[in-house]
């Protein structure tokens, strides 16, 4: 799968991801063989990254182009946006929304993290939306990343440095994550000053 992290500290927000694609349990595609290894994409003023099937990347980027009034600025805005996406994912991209028989809602089959001047967010398969105050990680390397960022967060480090530590830990111990990493930062103080 992957290791993807988001970190918010002071006036800086960072989002970072590893670069490995994994096929099943026994084959990997490393960055040197993949000219499209960046797992983070930009949508307006937001950065998004997805854990799950590699197909989700192009599908989500494509479906977002057809949605008007996208709102990534809050939990409610993200929920409304992803609620609009779900029928399009089924009708236009043939999403199979089945997971467990007793699930209360159809699944969108993807976990997405979002970073922008408004904060750091996670959208889960049944369109649950969380806002995180410090840091979070998704993907198969998430537990290693979370532990490393937990230890690093109270140190005198920036959001970017903490995100780097999270990705490095994920890549060190998770078989489905590898360096190099891709990392983007947002300075919320500069963004607020521009408004």
pLDDT for residue 116: 97
DSSP result, 59-117: HHHHHHHT-SS---SSHHHHHHHHHHHHHHHHHHH-------TT-SS-----EEEEEET
List residues bridging with 22 in a β-sheet: 28
- What mean pLDDT, rounded, does the chain reach? 92
Confidence of residue 98 (pLDDT cuts 50, 70, 90): confident
CA distances from 118 to 2, 96, 115, 140, 194 (A): 25, 32, 8, 26, 14
Which of 16-30, 65-79, 96-110 shows the lowest per-residue confidence on average (mean pLDDT)?
Answer: 96-110
Alpha-carbon gap, residue 30 to 177, rounded angstroms: 9
What are the structural domains, with CATH classification, of the chain? 3-193 (3.60.20.10)
How does pLDDT run across 158-184, given as a tens digit for each residue?
999 999 999 999 999 999 999 999 999
Check pLDDT > 60 for residue 194.
no
* Model pTM score: 0.93
């Amino acid at each position: 799968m992957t290791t993807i992290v988001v970190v918010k500290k002071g006036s800086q927000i960072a989002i970072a991801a590893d670069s490995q694609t994994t096929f099943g349990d026994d084959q990997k595609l490393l960055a040197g063989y993949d000219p499209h290894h960046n797992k983070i994409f930009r949508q307006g003023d937001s950065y998004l990254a997805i854990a799950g099937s590699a197909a989700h990347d192009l599908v989500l980027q494509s479906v977002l182009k057809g949605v008007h009034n996208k709102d990534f600025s809050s939990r409610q805005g993200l929920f409304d946006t992803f609620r609009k996406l779900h029928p399009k994912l089924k009708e236009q991209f043939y999403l199979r929304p089945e997971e467990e028989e007793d699930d209360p809602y159809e699944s969108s089959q993807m976990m997405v993290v979002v970073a922008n001047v408004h904060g750091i967010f996670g959208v889960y398969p049944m369109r649950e939306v969380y806002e995180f105050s410090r840091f979070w990680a998704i993907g198969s390397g998430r537990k290693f990343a979370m532990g490393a960022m937990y230890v690093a967060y109270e140190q005198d480090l920036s959001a970017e440095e903490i995100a780097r530590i999270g990705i490095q830990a994920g890549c060190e111990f998770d078989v489905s994550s590898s360096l190099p990493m891709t990392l983007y930062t947002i300075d919320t103080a500069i963004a607020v000053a521009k408004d």
